[in-house]
Structure 1
Amino acid sequence: MLLKNAVLLVLTVLLLAFYACNKFEAYDKTAQLQLDIDSIQRFLTKKNLTMTKDASGIFYNMVRTGTGTQVLGDFDTVKIAYTGKMLNDSIVEQAVDSAKLVLFAMPEGFRRGLQIIPAGTSHGIQAGGEIRFIVPSALAYINRPVYTPFPIGIIPPNSNLDYTVQLLQIYKQKK
């Protein structure tokens, strides 16, 4: 029993020493964002798509604005139907009927995509509107794999995500 414990202790120490010596690459959001933008631009060219790039690096196309003039705040709740795909067209997320979500609880890129205000306008998407946007991985799940119950099971690290969202209803935060 003593020998078994000693062997386990030695193996544990060796494993910890190996782990401590392992050099993990630091995540560089700025460099990854540039790689993502380049990848998205190649995707758009290959698919012959025209989209506008906002300051954050999200590419979008306002399919239908909808009706109203509300500006979505971080604490507003939205009722949406959406499909999220990787750039290889694999569906990774979907709510075909409707999902009711609070904006601040959404990943950064998804929230920003819904809050885009196109140049020359005073508001973005409204109830009844539809928007397609591509979120760079640096604004999505970054360099982490994400497990999802939807068909593929995992979104690989550094995946750019292509969303089509229909905004069904806006519930403004009560002040």
Structure 2
Amino acid sequence: MTKFLKPTLGLALATSLLFSCDNFKVTQESDGSKYQIHEGGDGKVKPKEGDLVTFDLVIKAPNDTVFTDTYKRKEPITMPVQKGQFKGDFINTITHLSVGDSATIYVSADSLFMRAQQPLPPGVSKGSDMRFIVKVRNIQTMAQFQKAQEEKKNNELQLMDNFAKKNFPNATKTQYGIYRVVVKEGTGATIIAGNTVKVAYTGKLMNGTIFDSSVGKQPIEFPVGQGAVIPGWEQALMMMKKGEKNIVFIPSNLAYGEQGSGPIPPFSPLIFEMEVIDVK
């Protein structure tokens, strides 16, 4: 048995090394794209100009300093595919990937920062590459994307109602569609337009992701009724008093609507824990 064991192990080792080498292979295309596939996807569809690509992204400098990490904010990026600004641009390279692909895209730091008219940041040397570590989640035509957004918009009110019944069974619903739970009663007069308020808050998406919070920071202070905050906040505050703490569930038309904002996707209802610290 021993004499057959060594060749078998040798073959297994050689096969392992072969696949390992493929995993470290860096591909360079004629358009300047430079990338390394770590995990292959379905290989069926690759994005073309005008499509929308949804992906997770970590951007690292050569010294491993992290510039961007969508995993931490728990929200991938969706962006349209268009012609890149320079040879080997990230957006050019992503057209070589398909759904499910995980890859490292190497982008010239000189080209990237010079185009933005910015100096090379600390840890990024001249002639080096930035690493864009990407995982492609979805590829859609503009028509497919718009249809999905329309369905999300049409289903939002029913989705909110089901969510509120499950998570905020004691909530009251205003005529504008805001669900409100009074956690702690306040004192004095109800806030009106023209008052200046100081508010501590935490904002969440329906999946529990916190997108903004004053915890560990100063509460925000602003005049009510002057458009300093989203309409849902204005309406919620004008039902509250000094010292009051509420949980409010706000529809997207009173928040960031069809555009979204940063980590907040389009047509996203928002949940806020709000406490009025002071009223002037």
Band the TM-score falls in, shorter-chain normalisation: 0.5 to 0.7
Alignment equivalent of 1:129, drawn from 244, 253, 278:
244
1:141 matches 2:256:
yes
Give 3-state SS (helix, strand or coil) of 1:158's partner.
Answer: coil
- Equivalent residue, structure 2, for 1:164: 273
TM-fit CA distance, 1:41: 1.3
- Aligned counterparts of 1:82 and 1:157: Cα–Cα separation in 2: 22
Structure 2 portions without partners, runs of 5+: 1-49, 51-141, 147-151
Q: Which residue of 1 aligns with 2:221?
A: 100
For 1:34-78, what per-residue CA distance to the aligned partner results, in whole angstroms no more than 9, with x for missing partners? 6332111111233363211100010101222211024321x3221
Amino acid at match of 1:47: N
Cα distance between partner residues in 2 of 1:100 and 1:48: 28
User: Which of 224, 238, 246 is matched with 1:115 structurally?
Assistant: 238
Supply the distance in 2 between the matched residues of 1:145 and 1:70 (Cα, whole angstroms): 30
User: What does residue range 1-175 of structure 1 map to in structure 2 within 5 Å?
Assistant: 32=153, 35-47=155-167, 49-73=169-193, 75-96=194-215, 97-103=218-224, 104=226, 105-116=228-239, 125-147=240-262, 154-171=263-280
Q: Identity of counterpart residues, as a percentage?
A: 28
**Structure 1 outlier segments of 4+, above 4 Å:** 22-25
Q: TM-score, normalised by structure 1?
A: 0.66
Asked whether the equivalents of residues 36 and 138 of structure 1 are also in contact (C-alpha less than 8 Å), the reply is no
> Which ranges of structure 1 fall in alignment gaps of 5 or more residues?
1-14, 16-21, 26-30, 117-124, 148-153
82 and 48 in structure 1: CA distance in 2 versus 1, 3 angstrom threshold: closer
- The one-letter amino acid of 1:127's match is K
How many pairs align? 135
For the aligned residue pairs, the C-alpha RMSD in angstroms reads 2.9
Asked which structure has the greater RCO (Cα within 8 Å, sep 6+), the reply is: 1
2:164 touches 2:179 (CA, 8 Å); kept in 1? no
Q: TM-score, normalised by structure 2?
A: 0.43
Partners of 2:190 and 2:238 within 8 A in 1: no
Q: Provide the residue aligned with 2:3 in structure 1.
A: none
Using the alignment, how far apart are the partners of 1:48 and 1:80 within structure 2?
Answer: 22
Kindly provide the amino acid, as one letter, of the partner of residue 102 in structure 1.
P
Paired residues of 2:200 and 2:274 also in contact (CA < 8 A) = yes
Change (3 A) 1:76 1:142: same
- Helix, strand or coil at the partner of 1:133: strand
Query: Quick check: which has more Rg, 1 or 2?
Result: 2
Distance in 2 of aligned mates of 1:143 and 1:86: 15
Q: Distance in 2 between matches of 1:83 and 1:170?
A: 19
